[in-house]
Amino acid sequence: MRESIRCGVIGLGRLGCWHARNLASSIKGAELVCVADTVAEQAEKIARELGVSRWTNDPDRLLGDPEIDAVVIATPTVAHADLAIRAARNGKHLFVEKPLTRHLEEASAVIEAIRANRVRCQVGFMRRFDPAYSEAKRRIAAGDIGAPIYFKAVSRDPVSPPAAFIANSGGMFLDMAIHDYDAARYLMGAEVTSVAAHGSVLANDFMKALGDVDQSLTYVTFDSGAAGDIESSRNAGYGYDIRAEVVGTEGTLVIGSLRRRDVALLTSKGRTHDIVPAFPERFKDAFQLEMAHFIEALREGGTPAVTEEDGLAAQEIAAAAQASFEAGRRIELQEWRNRNR
């Protein structure tokens, strides 16, 4: 086994900083050697905070650094494809935040570069590493619910990101619902064959000008004969609400809880539990575990559990959902794929 994996992180927004912190302090076998952000001050600030000796505002310096084994790409989505391809060409292993790329056609180029340069890639679908999701997967595999026949997911953000973010996000289906498209494939052990997507603007009027929605619903069918539905919302208000269910022929698994801490307040107004306010609290362990898995896979020479192929599959569902929403009709994925070639 390799002694340790020397890592660089590109993009020091909220998620990039999380990954950097985890790599610097709590991932066994990882060494954070460089951080990059187009805003030099941010790169320097994070480097100092984490005791990292190198920082840069030029991603190419990080990508060209021969002492770096693996690169975490956590920039805005639009930059993913270009950075991923250049990293692969420099022989760096890749951890790419979701979605793999902004446009579906870019994804193929990324995958080609990964294969041509024989590097390995993990996509940031951290839910697979959440203890509840992975326990559910384990139980389904163990046959505890018989054959899975229906998948149901609800993902609600407390508030919408600002218009500037939404404008570059790729839209509700690519930016948000994609987590559940991946969870659906993971938990159902099946591929999506059709999507019918609906959406509305319920609370954020600025979405209309951007052609986006703040609430969506995707009905999906699977090649196993199963079906499912996925609600995504920017409008929860009360907190960060992530749930999933897998209905099986012999039992049903219910994943998730709103509960922030195990303390309840009882008064004459009722029994009140705090609600998980935002994604870092909900998925703190998952972010840590996905990165530990990535580093371990690299050290042991194995393939990460969530590859660029998984990234592509979920991205394709998201693109088809977007097309379905725009066309106002159901889309069969195989047919749509053929037409789009």
200 contributes a contact to a second copy by CB under 8 A: yes
238 contributes a contact to a second copy by CB under 8 A: yes
CB of 28 to a second copy, least distance (A): 7
Near a second copy in 129-188, by CB under 8 A: 131-132, 135-136, 139, 144-145, 149-150, 152, 154, 156, 158
What whole-number distance in Å separates Cα of residue 197 and Cα of residue 330?
A: 7
Provide the 8-state DSSP code for 141: H
Segment contacting a second copy by CB under 8 A, of 2-10, 73-81, 182-190, 217-225: 217-225
> Could you please report the per-residue DSSP string of 180-211?
HHHHHHHHHTS-EEEEEEEEE-SS-THHHHHT
271 contributes a contact to a second copy by CB under 8 A: yes
User: Site map for a second copy, 38-77, x if CB under 8 A?
Assistant: ----------------------------------------
Closest CB to a second copy among residues 184, 247: 247
| Residue from the set 42, 122, 169, 233 that interacts with a second copy by CB under 8 A | 233
Both structure tokens of 331 = 């889309």
Distances (CA, A) of 207 to 7, 113, 214: 37, 35, 7
| Residue from the set 162, 251, 280, 302 that interacts with a second copy by CB under 8 A | 251
Distances (CA, A) of 231 to 4, 20, 203, 218, 240: 41, 31, 16, 7, 13
116 contributes a contact to a second copy by CB under 8 A: no
Distances (CA, A) of 171 to 63, 104, 145, 199: 29, 14, 34, 11
| Residue from the set 31, 274, 296, 309 that interacts with a second copy by CB under 8 A | 274
33 contributes a contact to a second copy by CB under 8 A: no
Segment contacting a second copy by CB under 8 A, of 115-123, 161-169, 175-183, 199-207: 199-207
Closest CB to a second copy among residues 63, 287: 287
Distances (CA, A) of 243 to 149, 160, 258, 282, 314: 17, 18, 9, 11, 18
Segment contacting a second copy by CB under 8 A, of 7-15, 61-69, 179-187, 244-252: 244-252
Angle between helices 14-25 and 279-300 (to 10 degrees): 50
CB of 306 to a second copy, least distance (A): 20
323 contributes a contact to a second copy by CB under 8 A: no
3 state DSSP class of 197? strand
Q: Which residues contact 20 (CB under 8 A, 6 or more apart)?
A: 9, 12, 32, 35, 46, 50, 52, 72
What whole-number distance in Å separates Cα of residue 7 and Cα of residue 74?
A: 13
Both structure tokens of 275 = 């609600």
Residue 266's CB is within 10 A of a number of other CB atoms, namely 8
| Residue from the set 163, 209, 265, 278 that interacts with a second copy by CB under 8 A | 265
| Residue from the set 5, 177, 184, 217 that interacts with a second copy by CB under 8 A | 217
CB of 16 to a second copy, least distance (A): 20
Tell me if 312 sits within 8 A of 80, measured CB to CB. Answer: no
> Total residues at the site for a second copy (CB under 8 A)?
69
What letter represents residue 9's amino acid?
Answer: V
CB of 123 to a second copy, least distance (A): 24
| Residue from the set 78, 167, 210, 227 that interacts with a second copy by CB under 8 A | 227
Residue bearing tokens 């990964």 = 114
- Chain contacts with a second copy (rule: CB under 8 A): 25-26, 28, 131-132, 135-136, 139, 144-145, 149-150, 152, 154, 156, 158, 196, 198, 200, 202-203, 215, 217, 219, 221, 225-227, 229, 231, 233, 235-239, 241, 247-259, 261-275, 277, 328-330
